[in-house]
Amino acid sequence: MENVLSNITKALNSMQSMRPMRYDPDEDWSASVAPRNSSESSFSSVRWENIRPFPAGVAANQMWEEWNRYIENFEMAATLSNANDPVRRSQLLFLSMGTELQGIVRAAKLRPSLTDANCYRKFVANIGNYFQSMTDASAEHEAFSNMKQLKSENAVAFHARLVAKVRLCGYSPTDHDRFVRSQLLKGLRNKDLVRAARTYGHDTNYIVQAATRDEAYEAETTPTDNKEPLAVNRVHRTSPAYDSMRKRSRTDNGGPQPKRTRTNQHAERRFTQDRGRRSRCRRCNGRTHSSLPCPALSRNCNFCGEQGHYAITCRRAHVRQVQVKSNVSPTRDDDGQMDQTEV
């Protein structure tokens, strides 16, 4: 009986030792795991300013596109830090991805076991496949079909946006170039170049190069706003009359009027009167006759009787008027009223 019990106990112990234990890969990330290659255990200090965290607040259908850009920059920074060991690189990736992405990775259980020789590749593939599954290929195809070159965007930047967007549409990798070329011709602003590319069958690289050269030519031949003030200042220095013409045009167009002082008003009024006197004939008091003879040359004055002028311009008449005015002075009568008395 004792032998039977001992045999049963041994059998149970052997079965329990053969039962597979549940293994959690996340336990490796909290434990200290030695690098697989001891020669690579010491790598240069990481420059964290070169490794930016994954952006927060990215829409679910855009995470795959953002992840592709992020992992490309991370791998360059990790290579510069000589983090070539898969364990160290996986840990460095998890630390640098930011709090939001770390929570997503933990919740979806995307971290592989660090004891695996390909742990880093599996880690990157798990995250990429997870974000790709949340991407709506139909919506991305619709957005790709409506992409156009922006007004302030050059052809190179527009082509780069198309290349990044075509990866999200679910197309075959062999068809990416064909779709990019088709949408590039559809969205370019230079329609003359588009017509030539469709006529002669230019490839994508040739189209981008031609569009870039055309943009450079347009930038050289189109005058900019910064060059106009230089030309105006140069004319202002060489031509003294330019300033007065500019002030006159500004006043005529309703611009700010120059400030007028009492001295300026007196000078302007005097100039106007002198100009009026100079523009009249001293014999007939009419407008200047230019090359024609004055009609008063053959007429006699009604005041003094002399020939050669009219009475309106007679100097004796003016002298007589002055004398008469000087001989008349105001006086008061007994009633306090003003009266004119000739002295």
Q: Could you count the other beta carbons within 10 Å of the beta carbon of residue 170?
A: 13
Q: Decide the pairing of beta strands 338-342 and 328-332.
A: antiparallel
CATH architecture of 137-221: Orthogonal Bundle (1.10)
Q: How many residues appear in the chain?
A: 343
Sign of CA dihedral 194, 158, 134, 140: negative
Alpha helices in 189-329 (DSSP H): 191-200, 204-221, 228-238, 241-252, 262-278, 315-327
Distance CA 330, CA 336 (A): 12
What pLDDT is stored for residue 38 in this prediction? 47
What pLDDT is stored for residue 148 in this prediction? 96
Domain ranges of the chain: 26-133, 137-221, 293-327
Long-range contacts made by residues 57-64, C-beta under 8 angstroms, separation at least 24?
57/100, 60/134, 61/134, 61/135, 61/136, 61/139, 61/140, 63/131, 63/134, 63/135, 64/128, 64/131, 64/132, 64/134, 64/135, 64/168
What pLDDT is stored for residue 207 in this prediction? 95
Distance CA 72, CA 332 (A): 112
The whole model's pTM is what?
0.49
- Which tokens in the block code for residue 337? 């009223």
Q: Which one, of 222, 197, 219, lies nearest residue 208 by Cα?
A: 197
Instruction: For the chain, 343 residues long, give each residue's pLDDT as a single digit of tens.
Output: 566 556 666 665 655 554 444 445 666 666 555 555 544 444 556 666 777 888 888 888 888 889 988 999 899 888 888 888 999 999 999 998 889 999 999 999 999 999 999 999 999 999 999 998 888 888 889 999 999 999 999 999 999 999 988 988 888 888 999 999 999 999 999 999 999 999 999 999 999 999 999 999 988 887 765 555 555 454 445 455 555 555 555 555 555 555 555 555 665 565 555 555 556 788 888 877 766 788 888 888 888 888 888 888 887 766 666 565 666 555 554 444 444 444 3
Burial of 111 (0-12, 13-18, 19+ CB in 10 A): buried
- Quick check: helix, strand or coil at residue 201? coil
- Quick check: helix, strand or coil at residue 182? helix
- Quick check: helix, strand or coil at residue 45? coil
The separation between CA 184 and the C-alpha centre of its own chain, rounded to angstroms, equals 23
Instruction: Locate the DSSP E strands across the chain.
Output: 328-332, 338-342
Q: Which one, of 107, 111, 48, 104, lies nearest residue 80 by Cα?
A: 48
Q: Could you count the other beta carbons within 10 Å of the beta carbon of residue 45?
A: 7
